[in-house]
Amino acid sequence: MKKFMFLMMALVMGFTASAQSLPDVKVENQEGKVVSIKEIVDGTPMIISFWSTTCKPCIMELNAIYSNLDEWLEEADFKVVAVSVDDARSVSRARGMVANWDGYTCLFDKNQDLKRAMNVSLTPHTFVVDGNGNIVASHSGYTPGSEQKLFEEIKALK
């Protein structure tokens, strides 16, 4: 236990912080093909949101972003990437639900490899990523209205 505390302190004090980049992990896209998460980096900033069919606040957050999307896109260019962490049991249900979110890039992380690589413990968990694939902000949880914060972070990337 002590060793870990020292490690933490050393890390905080001894090293500088820098932007984290997306890991190279494979997920399924909407067509059922395996793609690397790095392939979605194309110069456009994005909001990456981890969700599942049994996570109500996740769906509320994605719906809230959806409601504002037209207005937000007038002010900033970005895309929304919804990563479902549903496993084989509910992935077909997830594929059905994403039909409601036209305009989103939907990915399926069936054995939660990306979730693990990005250190997501609980959903919802949202990342703001710049056009080069660097993670600039990370948020756990959702309360109605907190989607505004995501938009502010996207706008700040300009």
Partner 1 sequence: MKKFLLFIGVLVAATLATNEASAQIQVGKGQISVALESNNTYYAKDKTLEDVGLIKPEERVRGDFGSNDYLKVDYRLGRFSAGVQVDGYLPGLYGYDLYTFQQRDSKLSAFITKYVQWEDQNWGVRLGDIYEQFGSGLIFRTYEDRNLGFNNSLAGARAYYNFNNMVNVKVLAGLPRLYDIRVNNPVWGADLSLSISDMAGWYDGMISIEGSYVGRYLNTKSPRDGFESTLLNMVSGRANFEYKGFSFRGEYAAKLNEDIFHASFPNSKGSAVVIDLGYNYKRFSASATFRRQENMNTNIMLTDPAIGGGNTFVYIPILTRQHTYSLANLNPYTSCTSHVGGEIGGQIDVYYSLRNPKVRSKYWNFHANFSMFNTLDHYKYDIFTWEPTMEIKGRNAWIEFNVDVERQWNKQLKTTFLYAFQRWDQALAKSDDPNEHYCTSHIFVGDVTYKINKRHSIRVEAQYLSSEDYQGDWVAGTIEYNFAPKWSFFVSDMWNCEAMGDPNHDADYDNYFDLENWDDVPGENLLLHYYQVGASFTHKSLRAILSYGRNRAGYVCSGGSCRYQPAYTGANLSITLSF
Q: Rule CB under 8 A: which of 27-56 touch partner 1? A: 31-34, 53-56
If binding is defined by CB under 8 A, does position 155 make contact with partner 1? no
* Min CB(17)–partner 1 separation in Å: 4
Beta bridge partners of residue 81, listed in sequence order: 48, 105
* Of 39, 44, 67, 132, the one binding partner 1 by CB under 8 A: 67
**What contacts 24+ positions apart, CB below 8 Å, involve 15-20?**
19/130, 19/134, 19/135, 19/136, 20/134, 20/135
Q: Would you give the distance in Å from CA 151 to the centre of its chain? A: 14
Question: Are the C-beta atoms of residues 132 and 41 closer than 8 Å to each other?
Answer: yes
Q: Give the β-pairing of 134-140 and 46-51.
A: unpaired
Backbone angles phi, psi at 141, to 5 degrees: 85, 165
Residues from 79 through 98 that contact partner 1 (CB under 8 A): 86-90, 92-93, 95-97
Beta carbon nearer to partner 1, 44 or 92 = 92
* Of 41, 76, 138, 157, the one binding partner 1 by CB under 8 A: 138
* Min CB(79)–partner 1 separation in Å: 16
Among 43-51, 76-84, 131-139, the segment contacting partner 1 (CB under 8 A): 131-139
Beta carbon nearer to partner 1, 44 or 141 = 141
